[in-house]
Amino acid sequence: MAALKSIKLKIKSVEKTAKVTKAMEAVSAAKMRKAQQKALMGRAYARAASAILARVSGARELATHPLTSARPVENSLYIAITSDKGLAGALNSAVLRAIVADIPSGGSASVIAVGRKANDFFTAREIPVETYFPNTDQITSEFIAELVRTAASRFASGKVDVVKIAYQNFVSTFEQRPTIRTVFPLSLDELEAVVEDILPARGQFALQPVSKERPVTYTIEPSEEEVLNTILPKLAGIFVYHALLETQASEHSARMVAMKSASDKAKDLTKGLTIQFNKARQAAITREVSEITGGMEAMAN
């Protein structure tokens, strides 16, 4: 009887766990759809931003601007975007591994950590974490501006030679791809790549053909320097904004899949424990019947 009670308690425990994972799966599915919708709706803005950068690409000031000037890379700064929470499979570890693999040999690297997982990972490995931001569902313009301002000041001052952003790119519900993009020096090719990464390729949010023609010269008022100083950080904010949205969609998708897998495993475990319980109960009944039968035969003799 003790064995039967133990199995029955295990079944109840697994069933309670299955209810929790099922609820988490439903919540993650709803959040994933919202995050994906935000990314898709922002695609037109990202496409317009790349068109703006294409139009000013002929400006003489752009080639020598502190935020667009490329130089040999010795010191790298990575904006590492991960989640604050776990239970999302290999979502965070894939991004962190991609950053470690991307660090050039012989060079130094530092990190702006967005998300507790990135902060804990690089702190444990003694890679300098210059700034830490929690990764919440609320993406504000103030947060993006502060993040871009921190990275831009480091790059413009020459303290770092390149600024890259690493995040999980949402491909589908079952596929998230760790992606690294160069934010500074700011380039049109990288911005266009970000626009291309935002799915889907068909439907109302599909990318419309954009002219690749770039003017040789462009007159900018009130001055090239003033205009570029204003728009270049905002264009860099496109990288950060969509990286945050893609990470959110990827996080909720990965957690939804993980929780669905956990729910399915719980069902299989409950089924196996139920079969084990029935077998144990049947064995106990058979043993009792045998004892009763044996006792009656002994009394008859």
Return the C-alpha torsion angle 30, 33, 35, 40, nearest 10.
-170
pLDDT tens string, the chain, 301 residues long: the values are 567 788 888 888 888 888 888 888 888 888 878 877 777 776 677 777 767 766 666 566 666 778 888 888 889 999 999 988 877 777 888 899 999 999 888 778 999 999 999 999 999 988 899 999 988 878 888 888 899 999 999 998 889 999 999 998 887 778 888 999 898 888 877 777 776 766 544 444 444 544 445 545 556 666 667 777 777 888 888 878 888 888 888 888 888 888 888 888 888 888 888 888 888 888 878 877 777 777 777 777 6
Using the structure block, give the residue that is written with the tokens 């301002």. 149
Q: What is the DSSP letter of 104?
A: P
Report phi then psi at 106, rounded to 5: 85, -10
What pLDDT, on a 0 to 100 scale, did the predictor assign at position 47? 72
d(CA 217, CA 221): 13
Give which of 72, 88, 74, 118 is closest to 28, Cα–Cα.
88
Give which of 175, 168, 145 is closest to 248, Cα–Cα.
168
- CA 49 to each of CA 192, 197, 227: distance values in angstroms, whole numbers, following the listed order: 9, 15, 14
d(CA 45, CA 242): 11
Of the CA atoms within 13 Å of residue 232, those in its CB half-sphere come to 28
Pairing type for strands 108-114 and 129-133 reads parallel
Q: What is the DSSP letter of 133?
A: E
Residue 169 structure tokens:
């790119």
E strand or H helix that includes residue 163: strand 162-172
Q: What is the DSSP letter of 148?
A: H
Please give the domain boundaries of the chain with CATH numbers for all domains.
2-26+262-300 (1.10.287.80), 27-255 (3.40.1380.10)
